[in-house]
Structure 1
Amino acid sequence: MGSKYKYKSDRMKIKNSIAHSTFPSPMVSFTILAGGYDTFVASYLFNSTNASLTVTGRFPTGVNPSWITAHPTNRSVFYAVNELDDGALQSYTTTSNGVVTGPFDTVPSGGGSPAFAVALGTGEVAIMNYNGGNGRIIPTSSPLKFVNDSAPVITFPPPAGGVSHPHQAVAHGQEILIPDLGGDKVWRLTENGGPGNWKIAGNILQPPGSGPRHVAIRDDRLFTLHELASTLTIQKFPTLSLNGTAPLIANASIIPSHPPAGSQWGAAEILIPDRTDKFPNSYIYVSNRNIATDPSALDPRGDTIAIFEHVNVGTKNEGLRLIKQIFTGLSQVRGMEIGRQTNGGDKYLVASGVAGTGGTVVFERIDGGADLKEVARNKDIPTRTSFIWI
């Protein structure tokens, strides 16, 4: 009997020892693609175990693949703009470890300086021409092949005495939303007779002179980041029958306090990740760009990523609360992206600047997403402008 119980006791001790021992976590690696103002797309390997970020390749592309976007269901396919006077859209493939091949097809964007593209769930790819004041919603016959003839150019009416600068495209229900930085509107497109054919169905007015650059929608709220005013606003998303009418619920500056004398600001990117058990609060991440050319007007700590919380939703006190300004060591933070939930990558945010030599940085979202901690930096390529987590 004593031997039997001793054996059972020993097994329990071993089991408890295993349960409470600290073993190295399995290596988790992430592949990240990065576009920029150059002639290549770069691939990075981020190893979260040893907190390293390594350039694994530079793959030739068309000129200025400043914005890259992944196919919504086929992660081996992505699209890149050619941000030129005569803009274009190209299709590429990538392996899971970031080996890029292509371009497989190229199609004109229909205008100048396309600064944004997004692959839609409809099998179309939207591309917006910043200097052309127009854009196209281009169908595909396969993930890598565009149907050029089916996509007319959509021209956005310029403001009186000004120019239209469409800067993004976001699918929302049956609509595509286009923030117009020059027109101080968010245009609303609806389908008009088949793939590639869309029409302007209305708009959502924005504060005069604010320069809406990028938007995000959560629940029934429209969050707009304004480049010229460096503000973040909230509006209740209106139905098309209430076209143009959407009073501001909140309007907050995103500029860090006590900026250097002579600094000049231009907001860039907004990210609102989904809520999860690990990140139950849907914090809002927005990037600042100090575009001053005088070195004395630049903060040696770099530009910031501001973190906001949407508070008191649905009450008269609904608004935005600034949680923290994160100094990044980057100049003109333009591109940033949060990793994918499916492989645990949403714990991390990658960012880079469009100027300077700060390189590319991976931050860990800590305190439930209310803060960012730098975990890896690579300066081999000084600037990048957009990212895809593979």
Structure 2
Amino acid sequence: MLASILSLSLGAAVASATNLFVSSYAGNITTLSLTASNGTYHIEKTYVNNGCAPNPSWLTLDANRGELYCLDEGLTVPNGSLSSYLVNPNGSLTQVQKASVISGPVNGVIYGRPAGQRYLALAHYSGSAVSDWALDTNGTGSFTFNQDLLFNLSHPGPNAARQDAPHEHEAILDPTGQYVLVPDLGADLVRVFCIDSDTGLLTAETPLSVSPGSGPRHAAFWNPAGVSCENCTSYLYVVTELANTVTGYAVSYPAAGGMAFEKVYESSVYGQLNLPSGNAAAEIAVSPDNRFLLISNRNNTSFSLPNPIPSNSTQIPSDSLSTFALNANGSLTFHQLWPAGGSFPRQFSLNRYGDLIAVGLQESSEVVVMARDVATGLVGMPVARVEIEGMVTSVVWDD
């Protein structure tokens, strides 16, 4: 295990520890403990659970209920799987249930009544599907099947190699909690589903069509007011993997039902900078302070970083993170391009304060924690990194 301690003058005076959960294609969920004391960080592995094997691709954490859901993509077997865990106080996991699902689940989101029945919607990349599962209301971590929705294409998209079939890549909840949206990389759509509040079943509404061949991968909502309100205008930002664009849409809710989208912004994920050949945009997220939009870029090797081992002078090749400032009219202002800490930042997540970013580096088989200046929105240098067995697919904070 490679674990480095790097100093950063953040003014922390009291030691504290935070757990993170990491999935990797080695078949494991790894618990990490990040400790901060007087501005110095230390990260280490504390537990490894292999119950989500063979190919964990995504983790969805319900921190309030102490439940973790792991999606197994099933790259080497006919089906994927969904596993549930109870999170123990020490960060270890107790597996509750494992069920076979349509192949290729790569993302999931919890929806439903906060104090009532909840559901988990899964996006299935290779299975060209969306499924949803009813979650037990008593905090046991168990779940039951609710629905499968299957999709097909009449012909391949403009990028035939990547758009041979529908490829659902993410499931997110809209700000009202009434709709689940699913970017479909293969069909160049963001699918929209209305939630039945009584049954949790999803009904397809008119989807958002994006530029042909762009390949929408992930998306994020933003409300300039920072709160949910009936008359507030919210925006949807869609990042495309094939065209490497970020597109902003003003969102409205017609009286007849469904969702409507008006395009208000579009640019390269590199802003005005030259986009490297082969770049593949991946994750997108709004900062906790509601002021910035961050995007991860893979396969560009735009930077190199000093090796964390003092005796090793070999530089670490690094892909990048893009930061945009969010403007009240839905437009974006390019703010920063910064090293992601290593190769193929498939996914990242910010802690609740927004001053740290955990980046899952698929090809580097590492998790790196980056400092972030909340006041300026600028990402800083790595403060901790640790090797993970297998290709890292996701990392989430339990804070």
Q: TM-score, normalised by structure 1?
A: 0.81
**Contact 1:250 1:319 (8 Å CA) reproduced:** yes
How far 1:29 sits from its partner (Å)? Answer: 1.2
Determine whether 1:41 maps to 2:29: yes
How is 1:162-181 mapped onto 2 (pairs within 5 angstroms)? Answer: 162-172=164-174, 173=176, 174-181=178-185
Separation in 2, partners of 1:385, 1:369:
29
Indicate the SS of the match to 2:56: coil
Report deviation, 1:81.
0.6
Please state how far the C-alpha of 1:196 moved relative to its aligned partner.
4.1
Aligned twin of 1:14: none
Which of 353, 368, 379 is the equivalent residue of 1:361? 368
Indicate yes or no: 2:49 matched with 1:52: no
Query: How many Å separate the matches in 1 of 2:358 and 2:197?
Result: 39
Query: Is 2:339 aligned against 1:339?
Result: no
- The residue identity in structure 2 corresponding to 1:106 is K
Distance of 2:12 and 2:29 partners within structure 1: 33
1:64 is displaced (CA, Å) by 1.4
State how far apart, in whole Å, the 2-side matches of 1:120 and 1:28 are: 31
The one-letter code of the counterpart of 1:60 is N
**In the TM superposition, what are the counterparts of 1:44-83 in structure 2 within 5 Å?**
44-49=32-37, 50-62=40-52, 63-71=54-62, 73-74=64-65, 76-83=66-73
1:204 equivalent to 2:195? Answer no
CA distance in 1, matches of 2:343, 2:154: 31
Change (3 A) 1:211 1:321: same
Conserved? CA contact 1:159–1:182, under 8 Å: no
CA RMSD, 1 decimal: 2.4
Which has the larger helix fraction?
1
1-structure distance, mates of 2:63, 2:190? 23
Partner SS for 1:66: strand
Distance 1:24 1:132, change over 3 A: closer
Q: Distance in 2 between matches of 1:245 and 1:319?
A: 18
1:134-169 CA-to-partner distances (Å, cap 9, x unmatched) read 111111234411122xx1211235364341111111
Q: Separation in 2 of the partners of 1:88 and 1:380?
A: 22
Report how far residue 200 of structure 1 moved. 0.4
1:173-196: CA deviation from partner (whole Å, max 9, x where unpaired): 211111111111111111348434
Structure 2 distance, partners of 1:140, 1:68, is 15
Alpha-carbon distance, 1:243 to partner = 6.3
Shift in Å at residue 97 of structure 1?
2.9
Q: 2:100 aligns with which of 78, 98, 108?
A: 108
Assess if the C-alpha contact under 8 Å between 2:248 and 2:264 holds in 1.
yes
- Name the structure with the higher strand share: 2
1:97 corresponds to: 90
Give the C-alpha shift of residue 328 in structure 1: 2.3
Q: Which residue of 2 aligns with 1:140?
A: 135
The one-letter amino acid of 1:147's match is: T
Cα distance in 2 for partners of 1:53, 1:24 equals: 16
Normalised TM-score (structure 2): 0.79
1:99 shift after superposition = 0.8
Instruction: For 1:153 and 1:291, locate their aligned partners in 2 and report how far apart those are by CA, in whole Å.
Output: 37
| Distance in 1 between residues matched to 2:264 and 2:26, nearest whole Å | 40
Give unmatched runs, 5+ long, in structure 1: 1-22, 276-280, 293-298
Residues 347-381 of structure 1 deviation map (CA, whole Å, 9 limit, x = unaligned): 21100211135x11111211525211221111354
1:223 partner amino acid: Y
Alpha-carbon distance between aligned partners in 2 of 1:55 and 1:352, rounded to the nearest angstrom: 15
1:256-282 superposed Cα distances (whole Å, 9 cap, x missing partner): 84566xx4121110110232xxxxx61
Q: Deviations over 1:25-55 (max 9, x none)?
A: 0112111111111221001111122211111
Aligned equivalents of 2:396, 2:199: Cα separation in 1: 26
Could you tell me which runs of 5 or more consecutive residues in structure 2 were left unpaired when the two chains were aligned.
Answer: 1-10, 157-163, 224-233, 302-314
Q: Distance in 1 between matches of 2:124 and 2:57?
A: 12
Local SS of the residue matching 1:355 = coil
| CA separation of 1:307 and 1:24: change in aligned 2, threshold 3 A | closer
Residues 310 and 319, structure 1, Cα contact 8 Å, conserved in 2: yes
The alpha-carbon deviation at position 319 of structure 1 amounts to: 2.3
Match of 1:189? Answer: 193
Does 1:283 find its partner at 2:275? no
Percent identity among equivalent residues?
Answer: 23
Alignment match of 2:384 (pick from 352, 376, 379): 376
Structure 1 or 2, whichever has the larger Rg, is 1
* Deviation per residue, 1:2-24 (Å, 9 max, x gap): xxxxxxxxxxxxxxxxxxxxx97
Judge conservation of contact 2:300–2:319 (CA < 8 Å) in 1.
no
Cα-to-partner distance string for 1:43-97 (whole Å, 9 max, x where unaligned): 11111222111111211222212101112631x2110011114011110112233
Which residue of the partner structure matches residue 327 of structure 1? 339
Using the TM superposition, give the Cα deviation of residue 227 of structure 1 relative to its aligned residue in structure 2, in angstroms.
Answer: 0.9
* Change in CA separation of 1:191 and 1:352 when aligned onto 2, cut-off 3 Å: closer
Equivalent residues, number: 341
Secondary structure of 1:331 counterpart: coil
